[in-house]
């Protein structure tokens, strides 16, 4: 409210001039002061709302192979040290189901919180964008070719049940017509090209129906709720995904700049959520990353040889994931602007 006090202090000073009677103060000046005061009040209310916003939950939309296991672990650590409740559940098939799970977790952990300070529920899931009520919504993005390659090898060699890994290897072998060894991502990409041509591919247009254009799918929303999202290669899906990236999420981080992303995330979060580590976001981020429980990574089995993509494979994957590439470019530009806004250039 400082600007309001300045405006009316100016009026008071002008009113006390000995050479000018109080009633001679111009009406136009008073009207302008009143208008400025109104703008100051609106700005102040917005500022208070932004800094003291009460979120009932923090929901992490996990795009596969974008550092989601790492950030999930960090969120769990923050919740644990701050005495908040946290759950991770990938069985969510609708926004209503997730909202119900959050409310159930809140009542189970805190009981009836009427009249009490709100303690947030931290939740994460492989669930597309939803309009969660009173929730701080966050997600991460990763360069699409690197994400695809990581996801391909994860299906065969990641920390998953042995039965699922054997099935994935069998599917990949059958698709690439190999029997004596496991296929590489290069052979997989060539077979995709031979079957579908060089074009943007849907999620279902591959033996593993979760590889293509994953960012657009998760940023856009449930196809059952938004028909624009049914075709991840469409302009409508891309446009909605970009809109949600800028306006639907409270935070979008970038895997390639993980430390800067975590610091930015804490700067955007209510301080009470992380102050158990440190009141200053950058120091809190460093302590969280260096905590014994904060360094988990979802890595593939190093016993297997994972052939890196050739330049031709990278080109093909950019074609197959054309909308993911365009969305990621928008994420990078938006992230760069956020870095400047929050003065985090030193973390890049």
Residue with tokens 């929050």: 342
In this structure, the strands spanning 121-125 and 85-88 are parallel
Quick one: pLDDT at residue 118?
65
**What are the tens digits of pLDDT across the range 192-230?**
999 999 999 998 888 887 789 999 999 999 998 899 999
Query: With the C-alpha atoms ordered 164, 297, 328, 245, is the resulting torsion angle positive or negative?
Result: positive
Quick one: pLDDT at residue 159?
87
Closest Cα partner for 61 from 135, 139, 143, 142? Answer: 139
Quick one: pLDDT at residue 316?
98
Label each residue of the chain as H, E or C: CHHHHHHHHHHHHHHCCCCCCHHHCCHHHHHHHHHHHHHHHHHHHHHHHHHCCCCCEEEEECCCCCCHHHHHHHHHHHHHHCCCEEEECCCCCCHHHHHHHHHHHHHHHHCCCCCCCCCCEEEEECCCCCCCCCEEEEEEECCHHHHHHHHHHHHHHCCCCHHHHHHHHHHHHHHHCCCCCCCCHHHHHHHHHHHHCCCCCCCCCCCCCCCCCHHHHHHHCCCCCCHHHCCCCCHHHHHHHHHHHHHHCCEEEEHHHHHHHHHHHHHHCCHHHCCCCCCCHHHHHHHHHHCCCCCCCCCCCCCCCCCCCCHHHHHHHHHHCHHHHHHHHHHHHHHHHHHHHCCCHHHC
Question: How many C-beta neighbours within 10 Å does residue 298 have?
Answer: 16
Quick one: pLDDT at residue 124?
96
CA 232/CA 202 separation, integer angstroms: 6
Quick one: pLDDT at residue 204?
83
Question: How many C-beta neighbours within 10 Å does residue 25 have?
Answer: 15
pLDDT less than 70: residues of the chain: 1-53, 112-118, 295-304
């Amino acid at each position: 409210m400082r600007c309001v006090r300045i405006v009316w202090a100016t009026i008071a000073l002008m009113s006390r001039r000995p050479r000018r009677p109080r009633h001679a103060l111009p009406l136009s000046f008073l009207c302008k002061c009143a208008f400025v005061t109104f703008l100051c009040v609106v700005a102040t209310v917005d500022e208070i709302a932004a800094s003291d916003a009460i979120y009932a939950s923090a929901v992490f939309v996990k795009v596969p192979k974008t550092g989601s296991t790492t950030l999930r672990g960090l969120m769990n650590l923050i919740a644990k040290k701050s005495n908040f409740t946290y759950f991770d559940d990938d069985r969510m098939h609708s926004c209503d189901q997730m909202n119900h799970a959050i409310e159930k977790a809140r009542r189970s952990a805190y009981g009836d919180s009427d009249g009490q300070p709100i303690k947030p529920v931290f939740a994460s899931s492989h669930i597309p964008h939803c309009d969660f009520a009173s929730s701080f919504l966050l997600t991460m993005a990763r360069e699409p070719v690197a994400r695809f390659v990581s996801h391909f090898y994860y299906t065969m060699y990641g920390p998953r049940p042995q039965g699922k890994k054997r099935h994935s290897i069998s599917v990949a072998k059958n698709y690439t017509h190999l029997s004596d060894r496991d296929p590489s991502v290069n052979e997989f990409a060539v077979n995709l090209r031979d079957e579908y041509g060089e074009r943007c591919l849907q999620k279902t247009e591959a033996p593993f129906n979760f590889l293509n254009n994953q960012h657009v799918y998760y940023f856009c929303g449930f196809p059952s709720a938004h028909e624009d999202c049914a075709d991840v290669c469409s302009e409508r899906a891309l446009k909605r995904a970009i809109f949600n990236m800028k306006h639907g999420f409270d935070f979008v981080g970038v895997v390639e700049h993980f430390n800067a992303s975590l610091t930015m995330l804490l700067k955007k979060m209510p301080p009470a959520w992380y102050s158990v580590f440190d009141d200053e976001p950058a120091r809190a981020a460093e302590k969280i990353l260096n905590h014994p429980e904060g360094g988990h990574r979802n890595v593939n089995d190093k016993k297997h040889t994972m052939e890196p993509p050739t330049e031709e494979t990278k080109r093909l994957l950019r074609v197959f994931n054309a909308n993911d590439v365009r969305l990621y470019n928008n994420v990078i530009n938006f992230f760069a602007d956020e870095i400047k806004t929050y003065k985090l250039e030193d973390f890049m």
